[in-house]
Amino acid sequence: MFASRCLPAAAVALVACGDPAEPARFVAAASDDGGGVSIGLTVQDGLVAGYACGDDPAREPYPGWFIGEANGDSIAIERDGWTFAATWSEGAAEGTLFEPSGEQLIWAADAPATGLSATYAARDAGCTTGVIVIDGPEPLVRGAWCNSEGEQRQVTPLGPMQLVDGRLTVEVELATGARTLQVAPVDLPLRDDG
């Protein structure tokens, strides 16, 4: 669905100088007419990764990743008719996801993510799988596996939900059977290809 693109060399150079700062991570759940959507925002060393995923990325619009450079404490990234806009501070983040149809989804994260709450990623099949976890008594997990041909499938966590060696185990059902992936909290830079 999305063309394969990488961050510009200038963005990568920002991270290459010195030790990168710890990422600030924010996650939020929102609702639109079609159901629930999770939003993830990771900010690190002037780079930003936004991610949005609904309840069923194989059957509903799936915007995926928005990667770019911050403009101070804000960003607006357009991709394939979608726009991911966000502002943040040390204590909160908010923004709007604009759909190609003109629909808007407003979201807010009142505090930085803690515990298992984060946006996770792993490269597989030529694309970056994304997973958003919002921790709680009943954690909310939404994510999508994708491949280089533009196919998307929903991922589900494998229990018990815990980090093992800094990674969360998820599973995706493919035509060839179940595939298990280990996703890690997003660290920037991240490839912008799905």
pLDDT tens by residue, 137-156: 888 999 999 999 989 999 99
State the virtual CA torsion across 80, 83, 84, 87 in degrees, nearest 10. 150
User: pTM, whole model, 2 decimals?
Assistant: 0.85
Residue 171 to residues 36, 72, 166, 174, 193: CA-CA distances in angstroms?
20, 37, 17, 10, 20
Answer yes or no: are the C-beta atoms of 178 and 171 closer than 8 Å: yes
> Helix, strand, or coil here: 138?
coil
Q: Tell me the CA distances in angstroms from 79 to 65, 103, 115, one per residue in order.
A: 9, 15, 30
Average pLDDT of span 154-161: 89
The CA-CA-CA angle for residues 194, 63, 73, to 5°, reads 95
pLDDT of 62 > 90? The answer is: no
pLDDT tens profile 69-119:
999 999 999 999 999 999 999 999 999 999 999 999 999 999 999 999 999
Q: Which residues pair with 171 in a beta bridge?
A: 156, 180
| Residue 65 contacts residue 146 (beta carbons within 8 Å) | no
Give the Cα-Cα-Cα angle 193, 100, 23 (nearest 5 degrees).
45
Closest Cα to residue 63, out of 87, 89, 96? 96
- Position 19 scores a pLDDT of 52
Q: Where do the domains of the chain lie?
A: 9-185
